[in-house]
Amino acid sequence: MQPCVDMTLLDDILAQYPHEEQSLIQVLQDVQRAYNYLPCEVLEKVASELKVPLAKVFSVSTFYKAFSLNPQGKVIIKVCTGTACHIRGATQIIDEVERRLGIKPGETTEDLGFTLHTVNCVGACAMAPVVIVGDKYVGAAKASDMHKYLTVAKGGDNEN
């Protein structure tokens, strides 16, 4: 189903850390960044290299929000749901993205174009409500402008 994943990326990551349990979260962070998710094969190798039971690797992978076991969309949309964003209308923005993309928070569109996440405060409260489209922070975001950001993000794929 999934094409074979490139294990050399993992080797580069593992080379940077001591092979012990303490490195687990840091390694998984880098894996998530390099592969855009935590592929099963990679986790198996992480477990054997760091000498941590695979069950424990899964437990950590599912406990922390930064990790996902499913491939993520090309563009990740994070809607901040911190208190300041909430009272300035984050809910409207989530509704609007849900309506436009047909996915709920945590889900990815079928074409792997977008993933929608909610995050508990990115610490840019003065710009509330905040949406992060890919790497771009959008401050004072409006529900009615979301379609514009989505269109730009989709068109911007080629540049990446």
Partner 1 sequence: MRIESKQAFEEAVKAATALNEKRTREIMVCCGTGCLANGSQAVADAFAQRIGDLGLDVKLSLHAKTTGCHGFCERGPLVVLKPEGILYTKVKPRDVDEILEKTVGNGEIIPRLLYRNPENRQPIEKYEEIPFYKHQVRVSMRNIGRIDPASLDDALAHGAYAGMARALFELTPEQVIAEVRESGLRGRGGAGFSTARKWDATRKAVGERKFVLCNGDEGDPGAFKDRSIMEGDPHAVIEGMVIGAYAIGAKEGYVYVRDEYPLAVHHMNLAIEKAKERGLLGKNILGTGFDFDLKVSRGGGAFVCGESSALMRSIEGKIGEPRAKYIHASDRGLFDLPTALNNVETWSVVGQILNQGGAWFASMGTKKSKGTKSFSLVGKVKNTGLIELPMGTTLRHIIFDIGGGILKNRPFKAVQTGGPSGGCLPADKLDLPVDYEVLSENGSMMGSGGMIVMDDRTCMVDVARYFLNFLIDESCGKCIPCREGLKQMLHIFDDLVEGRGKPGDIERIERLCKGMQLGSLCELGKSAPNPVLSTLQYFRDEYEAHINDKVCPAGMCRELTTYKINHDPCTGCHMCTRVCPTDAISGKPKEKHAIDQQLCISCGSCFDVCPEEQCIVFLPKKDIGGAHATAGN
Site residues for partner 1 per CB under 8 A: 20-26, 28-29, 52, 56, 59-60, 63-67, 81-89, 91-92, 95-96, 99, 119-128, 136-140, 142-144
**Nearer residue to partner 1 within complex by CB, 99 or 104:** 99
Q: Which two tokens stand for residue 30?
A: 């880098």
6: left (phi over 0), alpha (psi -120 to 50) or beta: beta
Cβ-based nearer residue to partner 1, 3 or 123: 123
Is 105 or 113 the residue whose CB approaches partner 1 more closely? 105
Smallest gap from Cβ 117 to partner 1, in A, equals 10
Tokens describing residue 69 = 């076991």
Shortest Å distance, C-beta 46 to partner 1? 11
Q: Report, in Å, the least distance between residue 145 CB and partner 1.
A: 9
Q: Which of 37, 29, 34, 31 is nearest to 2 (CA)?
A: 37
6: CB partners within 8 A, 6+ apart: none
Asked if residues 36 and 71 have their Cβ atoms less than 8 Å apart, the reply is yes
Task: Identify which of residues 6 and 22 has a Cβ nearer to partner 1 in the complex.
Answer: 22
74/133 with CB nearer partner 1 = 133
Buried residues in 100-116 as b, exposed as e (16+ CB within 10 A): bbebebebbeeeeebbb
In the complex, what is the shortest distance from the CB of residue 93 to partner 1, in angstroms, rounded to a whole number? 9
Distance in Å, CB of 1 to partner 1, minimum: 27
Q: What are the residues whose beta carbons fall under 8 Å from the beta carbon of 34, sequence distance 6 or more?
A: 9, 10, 13
